Structure 1
Amino acid sequence: MRAPLALAVAATALIACNDGAAPSAPSPAPSQNATPTPTPGATSGGVPFQTAAVATFDAPWAMTFLPDARMLVTQKAGQMLLVSADGKTKTPVAGIPAVDGAGQGGLMDVVLAPGFAQNRQVYFSASMAGSGGKGVVLMRGTLAESGGSAKLDNVTELFRATPFVSGDGHYSGRIAFSPDGQYLFFTNGERQKFDPAQDPKATLGKVLRLTLDGKPAGDPGLTQKGFHPAVWSYGHRNLLGLAFDQSGNLWEQEMGPKGGDEVNLILPGRNYGYPIVSDGDHYDGRDIPDHKTRPDLEAPKVSWNPVISPGGLIVYTGNAFPQWKGDLFIGGLSSESLVRVDVNGTSATKGDQFPMGRRIREVEQGPDGALYVLEDGEGGRLLKLTPKG
């Protein structure tokens, strides 16, 4: 049954493990509502990679590689760090605006602009307070380095979620560029308010398409129906992963409620159903009809119940693990795992779930094809995963 908006107030207090709230160290055990799913990788010969710690951070959220193999890493409280390839040097990046780090908020995604080698532009997202409450904001700056220091110059706000609302959850804020480099896709969570995911005037609970300058460039069919002009797809919950594959397909993962974490193939103009349908239920025990009851709404390609609590998402394209080329990798928060999804064209099935022993907030592919993961919370490590043997 669709949840009335009034229930959002109660749900906001339930920022449970499945909703990705950053814990303080040590990481708590998964809650009863977030029992890890079985681990195929661990039961069929163990993990096929060796792990090396590269650096340690304070509640890291996202990372991206520069062309020279250095990294930009964001921390939840509002810091961005320029990190050497070996992890030994961490240079604070000045020029980051103040963020609202309460609850699930903070400094979030960071992605290099198309043509970064020439324009040095960096896109990033953060939660901020403003008229009406709080929301996620998309920004851009130019990375400048001098005398061992680093700064983002000319920081500009490009887009902000609408409306700003009360609460500290489900900001989302993931960024991905189209393969042609002409558009930017940006996720806005439904802020634990349920109904905005279906509200055509709101950007909450949506995948948005923007120009590189942040101008709305959503699906024309939805715009003609009266949707906000940035909306590309709708009916989403808390979208914490977004990536294009080499065929140009856009993949997204999001946290379900009590169960029902999803991987979706994002198609323009489609309604992905939340909160009308979900493969999970409300935290207060009320039923939500399953996706199969509404074939007119777009169903996930993969869903989990019990949950994995998905963090970051990549499409693997490297050569270090050739058997996984083209597959998705997802960080598991409450499941404390690295999750692989097997992709075949536009179809997907569950692959391995590798135990990591800590909540995994982010996963990235290094220039050498190695997998890099960021542990969640205070003292979260950056780990490099390379093939065994």
Structure 2
Amino acid sequence: MIVLGLALMLAAAPGHAQMHLETRVEGLEHPWSLAFLPDGRMLVTEKPGRLRLVAADGTLSDPLAGVPEVLYSGQGGLLDVVLHPDFETNGWLYLTWSEGRPRDNTLHLGRGRLVSGALEDFETLFSATPRRRTDVHYGGRVAFLADNSLLLGIGEGFDFREQAQNPQSHFGSFVHLADDGTPLGSAFEGAAPGVFSIGHRNPQAVVVDPVTGTVYANEHGPQGGDEINVLAEGNNYGWPIASHGVDYTGALVTPFQTYAGMTDPVHVWVPSIAPAGMAIYRGDMFADWDGDLLVAALIAGDADVPSGHVRRVDLENGTVAGEEVLFGELEARIRDVRVAPDGAVWLVTDEENGRLVRVSRE
């Protein structure tokens, strides 16, 4: 069920004044993703190709050695960083990045071990096919499932949107991989290795609810039509046959907002908010958010909303019941949002002087 036109609860929202926002790190160049280490440190990626350690006191390390060379162009660069669920015993961390030249490149997934401030034993595990001649719409977010396999979102490269309906291509898909990168079986006949779902435009987040196991993903629409979807193997999510958005010229991409045999989103945004990273809140610090989605937004969307912000999407028994606009006072594009082990929320701002901001309850 698609939910449209939900009222936005702005600065007057209950509890908003009790939040404490503290900038812990500055000086990052277009940071993209954040991961928490068991010892209290953090890892953060910068799109130009740097992986940095952040100490518990906010001290920023020099770039770590052993990171693969990236294509830093357009929307490409060093993207996600995710720890293996058994990181404390196996030490594996996973990166996604764009590789190649602006007119000949693709998305990669790889892993290495964090040893004494460097990545060791780094190997490329998966490369999306076919290669592309564009440097936009990569996707690149990763989430582990309960069995330690993973899902990786892959964009349709902008120029290849029709390929999002072709399971023999990785364009516009999620792929399902073992933790060593081996593609797992596909519900689509003759599919490219690992294809799990198709019909995506530019997926920007994928998260697994640790309580229910539900897999949520978001993606950019064209002009309007940003989506949150519940992912299931073998589903077709519609792009470009079904969409709530229009082309950037204002022309229709498709006359259909829904289409037989294709899975509707559980929520759409018209106009667009350009969703980025996303987290599902499970914790005690903001207990009233438990089970809700926190969605990083790069742009305003509605005229009365600050530019970059976070949308708290209120989920009630899996249904979107409302949403709240948060943290617009930062006046920055929010690239990622993560929930720390202590229940605090961390924000990553997408700027030349990017910041890590901790949000806690006062």
Q: TM-score when scaled to structure 1?
A: 0.85
The answer for the alignment partner of 1:190 in structure 2 is 156
Gaps of 5+ in 2: 1-5, 301-307
Q: Pick from 335, 348, 356: which aligns with 1:361?
A: 335
Contact 2:71 / 2:101 at 8 angstroms: preserved in 1? no
The offset of 1:89, in angstroms, is 3.5
Q: CA deviation at 1:130?
A: 6.7
**Preserved CA contact (<8 Å) 2:64 2:118:** yes
Q: How does 1:149-188 map to 2 (within 5 A)?
A: 150-181=117-148, 183-188=149-154
Structure 1 position 227 matched with structure 2 position 198: no
RMSD: 1.8
1:39 Cα shift?
4.4
1:105-124 → structure 2 map (5 Å cutoff): 105-124=76-95
Q: Which amino acid aligns with 1:194?
A: R
Sort the Cα spacing of 1:273 and 1:371 in 2 relative to 1 into closer, same or farther, 3 A: same
Q: Is the contact made by 1:74 and 1:107 (CA closer than 8 Å) also made in structure 2?
A: yes
Structure 1 residues 267 and 290, CA, compared in 2 at 3 Å: closer, same or farther? farther
Q: Deviations over 1:77-106 (max 9, x none)?
A: 000001102212424211011100100000
- Identity across matched positions, percent: 37
CA distance in 1, matches of 2:255, 2:56: 45
Which residue of structure 1 lines up, in the alignment, with residue 242 of structure 2?
277
Name the aligned partner's letter for residue 61 of structure 2: K
Matched, 1:381 2:355: yes
Distance of 2:341 and 2:110 partners within structure 1:
25
Q: Which residue of 1 aligns with 2:202?
A: 238
Work out whether 1:210 is the aligned partner of 2:177: yes
Higher helix share: 1
- Cα distance in 2, alignment partners of residues 293 and 77 from structure 1: 38
Q: How far apart, CA to CA, are the structure 2 residues paired with 1:228 and 1:346? A: 31
Is the contact between residue 302 and residue 349 of structure 1 (CA under 8 Å) also seen in structure 2?
no
1:22 matched residue in structure 2: none
For 2:141 and 2:156, locate their aligned partners in 1 and report how far apart those are by CA, in whole Å.
13
1:68 equivalent in alignment to 2:39:
yes
Q: How much has 1:303 moved relative to structure 2?
A: 0.4
Counterpart-to-counterpart distance in 2, 1:350 and 1:266: 21
Q: Is the 8 A contact 2:201 2:219 kept in 1?
A: yes
- Report the Cα offset of residue 284 of structure 1: 1.7
Question: 2:222, 2:245 within 8 Å by CA — same for their partners in 1?
Answer: yes
* 1: CA distance, partners of 2:137 / 2:237: 17
Q: Deviations over 1:206-228 (max 9, x none)?
A: 01100111111143x21xx2222
Change (3 A) 1:240 1:252: same
Distance 1:381 1:38, change over 3 A: farther
Contact 1:127 1:134 in 2 (8 A): yes
Whole-Å Cα distance in 1 between the matches of residues 235 and 354 of structure 2?
37
Residues 102 and 292 from structure 1, CA distance in 2 versus in 1: closer, same or farther, beyond 3 angstroms?
Answer: closer
Structure with greater contact order relative to length (CA < 8 Å, sep ≥ 6): 1
Q: Which amino acid aligns with 1:166?
A: R
Q: Scaled by the length of structure 2, what TM-score is found?
A: 0.91
Unaligned 5+ runs, structure 1 = 1-36
Q: Does 1:79 align with 2:44?
A: no
